[in-house]
Amino acid sequence: MLCWGSSASGQLGIGVSEASVFEPRSCCMFDGRGLKEVACGSQHSLFLLHDGSVYASGSNSCGQLGHEKGGWRPELVGALDAQKIAGVSCGQAHSLAVNEQGQVFAWGAGEGGQLGLGAAEEVVRVPRLIKKLCEHRISQVMCGNQHCIALSKDGQLFVWGENSSGQLGLGKGEPSTLSPQPLKSLCGIPLAQISTGGDHSFALSLSGAVFGWGKNSAGQLDRAVPCHIKFLRSQKVVYISCGEEHTAALTKEGGLFTFGNGSRGQLGHDSTRNEPLPRRVMELMGTEVSQIACGRHHTLAFVPSTGLVYAFGCNTQGQLGTGLRGNAKSPLPVRNIHSLWPVDIILCDFRIMNTTKSIAVINSESLDMCDIIRLISTCCFRSDDGHFKTNPKVPGIDFNAVRLLFETLMKPAFARLLEQATKSFESLLIPQLPCSPPDVEAMRIYLILSECPALQDSKNYISLTIPLAMAILRLDANPSKVLDNWWSLMDCEVFSRLVEMYKSIVVFLLTGGKALLMPVFLESYTSAALRLLEKLHKVNLKAQLVEYNHFYIPDISRLVDIQEDYLKWFLRKADIVRISLHGSVTLCAYPFILNAQAKTTVLQTDAELQMQMAVSGANLHNVFMLLTMEPLLARNPFLVLHVRRNLLVSDALRELTVYSDVDLKKPLKVIFDGEEAVDAGGVTKEFFLLLLKELMDPIYGMFTQYSESNLLWFSDKCFVEHNWFHLIGIICGLAIYNSTVVDLHFPLVLYKKLLNVSPTLDDLKELSPTEGRSLQQLLEYEGDVEETFCLNFSIALRSARLGVEKELIKMYFLCSSLRKEFVHAYLQYVFSDSVQEQYLAFSSGFLKVCGGEILSLFQPSELMAMVVGNNNYNWEEMEKNASYKGTFSASHPTVKMFWEVFHEFPLEKKKQFLLFLTGSDRIPIHGMASLRIVIQSTAAEEHYLPVAHTCYNMLDMPCYQTKETLRHRLTQAVEQYEGFSLV
């Protein structure tokens, strides 16, 4: 051991009465005995040996040595002889020791409560056990002038003693305390190290976050409650040391930062200025420091590459060891280190975490609850230094370690321990999760707990999983955004598992919740699960971790009366009913969980509701007209369109313009002039088909067809009035409202715009793949964009003559920095600016019929499927779901022949049959399972063709005797399907 500095009270332990020692001097007292640690107070020192024994020397004015043998030479603290001490610390005139069992002993001056014994005793000369800490296994203790802090192995921080400068971190105005108090403001942060100055304190987290509190006269920290020293967040701090009024921080890369009081040069910045913010010691740049230590007004730093110890600051007592007199404002090497001790001076490196003091290595064969808490902290420590990157966008968690921990706990050998951990999570951890965590590190527990298998067990839903959801939902805005950011970075599999867990909870509550819970709790728990799913859904909209239909609850229509749920939601939205619904949860408020079947039911319910309201209004008006003898003013309860096949567009325009918005909500009936059929749905289907087919005809120039994708988009130049686009919008709305699938070759972006979702480059790739890929290549190009592409901010007009361009932005050439702006402007022009009038006319027509809150329930792809159906054909399922009437059955020879012929048809012929039978060659949004056809036998002879009743998806078919006859007659029928007549 080498020592230097003030020795007036014998605190150097060299056994000689000497006021000051200006150069390092060897102390042979512990040679060969294994000196482990030295702690220095104002005028006394403690020496800890590897065998756990403690020696003390120096002033004993307040009993701080723990013995009465004189202080010139280190003497054994006999009262601790029975203990194996693991750590020691010295205050101004008091001492602490912690044994391997985590018990803390205190002695010395106690007038400020710094001994933590529960009473302000002036002097305690024999070490005493701090009983209030016996329930906790303490791993680190540190002493300030008259206050102490202790860190337990389960991550709790305790403080006691003087609080005149806020050094306990309990807040301004809080009194000093005579016994240890938990510092709750840092709860949840995995702490690696603690340190104390004269009247200030510091704590360092595993991820390098530095928190300080206490006296701030020189900028050594900030305030009377722990505050985050944000400047050090990105520096990978691994160790903190405090002086009287200054602080030093060591980084993983060996950098040294200092701040606080610099009046004696103790900051090493070649000045005596105070530094309110951490500043790197530039004199040591280019070297790696591995150890640091602060005295009251000086600082030491060890550079292992040279074996030199550097010192700077106050030197009035020779505490720098340079052999010189006077203070040093810059680092100077301590003299004669190599000559006194030619081997490596100190083997340990402060940059390597001391696992015995923070996170101990756990024996999986003997786990206890404290070990679990420490293991959870271990999950926040990564060997690749990823934990240092913890910030609002990166959680810095080793998820493999998290899973390994919980897999270990799931083993039968740890069944009781897992049960204990689960109870602790339930009664202690989750209820204490704060609304505003002190730091992002404290938020990692939300991700770690979500991986716990116990939360996925239905028996723990009410006690663990739902309370965790409630704790997440209680978070303030900023920490809530942090959690959203972290979720967005999850593996798709992990995120999917989280979604599935809370979907399962919703199903659990909807199926068995009424039997288990009082209505008020059922309401609260269901709301929490749905709101958490909503939060996850919003994250997924940006991060695209899973498909949107992954949030669907497949059995939702079976679990809940969707129609009743929609009516509740509708009435609440309309502000019609408040009290009678008792604030009950409505699933329609969370449309992302509703699958296609449920949403179709919702839309049909809304349509029926609107139709009934329109019909009821018409009927009420008619009754009034009869009573007033004005029958000629009666209103038709249906929206009736009289049209001619050869003038379909003009007739439809004429008919629809005379109806009001309310009339458009009525059930639609179509009458083709000269035809006898009564419209029970089939005539309407053909009306939509023929009208849209004609409106899409290229001769009108309303739409541009993209040959590469075979899709249509509004033409920027057309030769018809805008009311034609308005008509198409109305027709699309009427098709949805009357549950009719129509054949429209519009891209998904149209339905995005109807739902106010901004177009993306993917939409252009769908409409015009070559253009889309070209813009993608432009965005990804790493070379000189201006020189390679030679582009300006313009777009070639598709409908104009060759060489005509449209300027997008007033700028000559496109450069690399403006690529995103160019692509955005390109998309804005294609999908909005160039077709604004046409689209607005279309959307106003569509929204006139189908607008309102109901649209907010749909995703763009779902709305598209409602309009055009889908083409996921499953012909075998159609056969399986078919039913038969008359003499027909599935085993009838004619029926068997029919299905043989049908399955031999090519795809286009099958689609033509579907068009013939149902009025559309597309299938409804529910898929083939919802398409049920009926085949009915007739007494007609074999030379008659099959007849389709499109209203009922029914096929009348004679009993054909041969397969060839059936094939011929069926082919004739499907190829001549236009027109209606009574059979």
Fold observed for domain 638-748: Hect, E3 ligase catalytic domain fold (3.90.1750)
The answer on pLDDT for 364 being more than 50 is no
Q: What is the CATH number of domain 1-135?
A: 2.130.10.30
Q: Which residue has the higher pLDDT, 922 or 494?
A: 494
Given a contact cutoff of 8 angstroms between Cβ atoms, the answer to whether 292 and 239 are in contact is: yes
Q: Does this chain's domain 1-135 share its CATH topology with 189-351?
A: yes
Q: Which residue has the higher pLDDT, 854 or 765?
A: 765
Mean pLDDT of 241-253: 95
Identify the pLDDT of residue 611.
Answer: 65
Identify the pLDDT of residue 360.
Answer: 38
Q: Count the residues in the chain.
A: 983
Supply φ then ψ for residue 7, to 5 degrees.
-135, 25
Q: What is the pLDDT of residues 803-843, one digit of tens each?
A: 445 555 544 445 556 678 888 888 998 999 889 999 999 99
Euclidean distance between CA atoms 260 and 268, whole angstroms: 11
The answer on pLDDT for 128 being more than 50 is yes
Q: Which of 168-172, 330-334, 605-609, 674-678 has the lowest mean pLDDT?
A: 674-678
Given a contact cutoff of 8 angstroms between Cβ atoms, the answer to whether 573 and 853 are in contact is: yes
Given a contact cutoff of 8 angstroms between Cβ atoms, the answer to whether 211 and 257 are in contact is: no
The answer on pLDDT for 654 being more than 80 is yes
Mean pLDDT of 275-279: 93
Q: Which residue has the higher pLDDT, 701 or 67?
A: 67
Q: What is the CATH number of domain 189-351?
A: 2.130.10.30
Identify the pLDDT of residue 802.
Answer: 43
The answer on pLDDT for 356 being more than 50 is no
CB atoms within 10 A of CB 525: 25
Q: Which residue has the higher pLDDT, 130 or 576?
A: 130
Burial of 28 (0-12, 13-18, 19+ CB in 10 A): exposed
Maximum pairwise Cα distance, the chain: 132
pLDDT band at 783 (very low <50, low <70, confident <90, very high): low
Sorted by sequence, the CB contacts under 8 Å of residue 44 that are 6+ apart come out as 9, 11, 56, 57, 58, 59, 60, 64, 65, 71, 90, 93, 95
Q: Which of 128-142, 275-289, 366-380, 767-781 has the lowest mean pLDDT?
A: 366-380
Q: What is the pLDDT of residues 495-505, one digit of tens each?
A: 999 999 999 99
The answer on pLDDT for 161 being more than 90 is yes
Q: What is the pLDDT of residues 525-539, one digit of tens each?
A: 999 999 999 999 999
Strand order in the sheet with 75-76: 35-40, 44-49, 54-58, 75-76
The CATH number of 761-868, from 3.30.420.40, 3.30.2160.10, 3.40.50.1980, 3.30.360.10, is: 3.30.2160.10
Mean pLDDT: which of 12-26, 222-236, 746-760 is highest?
746-760
Given a contact cutoff of 8 angstroms between Cβ atoms, the answer to whether 351 and 254 are in contact is: yes
Mean pLDDT of 78-82: 93
Q: Which residue has the higher pLDDT, 789 or 411?
A: 411
Q: What is the pLDDT of residues 417-441, one digit of tens each?
A: 888 888 888 887 888 888 988 888 8
The answer on pLDDT for 49 being more than 80 is yes
The answer on pLDDT for 222 being more than 50 is no
Identify the pLDDT of residue 579.
Answer: 43
Mean pLDDT of 577-582: 48
Identify the pLDDT of residue 618.
Answer: 59
Percent of the chain exceeding pLDDT 90 equals 42
In this structure, what token pair is assigned to residue 723?
């009311």
What DSSP element (H or E) covers 681? none
Identify the pLDDT of residue 723.
Answer: 84
The answer on pLDDT for 380 being more than 60 is no
The answer on pLDDT for 160 being more than 50 is yes
Identify the pLDDT of residue 432.
Answer: 82
Q: Which of 211-215, 726-730, 738-742 has the lowest mean pLDDT?
A: 738-742
Mean predicted lDDT score pLDDT of the chain:
84
Identify the pLDDT of residue 786.
Answer: 57
Identify the pLDDT of residue 370.
Answer: 47
Mean pLDDT of 719-723: 80
Mean pLDDT of 862-870: 81
348 labelled catalytic: no
Mean pLDDT of 63-83: 91
Sorted by sequence, the CB contacts under 8 Å of residue 42 that are 6+ apart come out as 59, 90, 91, 92, 93, 145, 296
Euclidean distance between CA atoms 677 and 682, whole angstroms: 9
The answer on pLDDT for 492 being more than 70 is yes
The answer on pLDDT for 191 being more than 70 is yes
Q: What is the pLDDT of residues 796-814, one digit of tens each?
A: 555 444 444 555 554 444 5
Q: What helix, strand, coil percent values describe the chain, rounded to 5?
A: 40, 20, 40
The domains of the chain are located at 1-135, 189-351, 364-544, 552-619, 638-748, 761-868, 875-975
CA distances from 471 to 73, 328, 434 (A): 57, 53, 8
Mean pLDDT: which of 42-56, 175-189, 421-435 is highest?
42-56
Identify the pLDDT of residue 983.
Answer: 36
Identify the pLDDT of residue 169.
Answer: 93
SS (H, E, C) 854-886: HHHHCCHHHHHHHHHCECCCCHHHHHHHCEEEC
The answer on pLDDT for 88 being more than 60 is yes
Sorted by sequence, the CB contacts under 8 Å of residue 895 that are 6+ apart come out as 884, 888, 889, 935
Euclidean distance between CA atoms 443 and 448, whole angstroms: 9
Point out which residues pair with 211 in neighbouring strands. 203, 228
pLDDT band at 74 (very low <50, low <70, confident <90, very high): very high
Supply φ then ψ for residue 629, to 5 degrees.
60, 40
Q: Which of 1-10, 295-304, 425-434 has the lowest mean pLDDT?
A: 425-434
Q: Which residue has the higher pLDDT, 897 or 612?
A: 897
By C-alpha distance, which of 294, 309, 244, 241 is closest to 24? 309
Mean pLDDT of 160-165: 93
The answer on pLDDT for 123 being more than 90 is yes
pLDDT band at 367 (very low <50, low <70, confident <90, very high): very low
Euclidean distance between CA atoms 270 and 258, whole angstroms: 12
Euclidean distance between CA atoms 64 and 66, whole angstroms: 6
The catalytically annotated residue of 718, 732, 850, 951 is 951
Q: Which of 42-51, 713-722, 796-805 has the lowest mean pLDDT?
A: 796-805
The answer on pLDDT for 344 being more than 60 is no
Identify the pLDDT of residue 363.
Answer: 43
Mean pLDDT of 623-648: 69
CATH class of 875-975: alpha beta
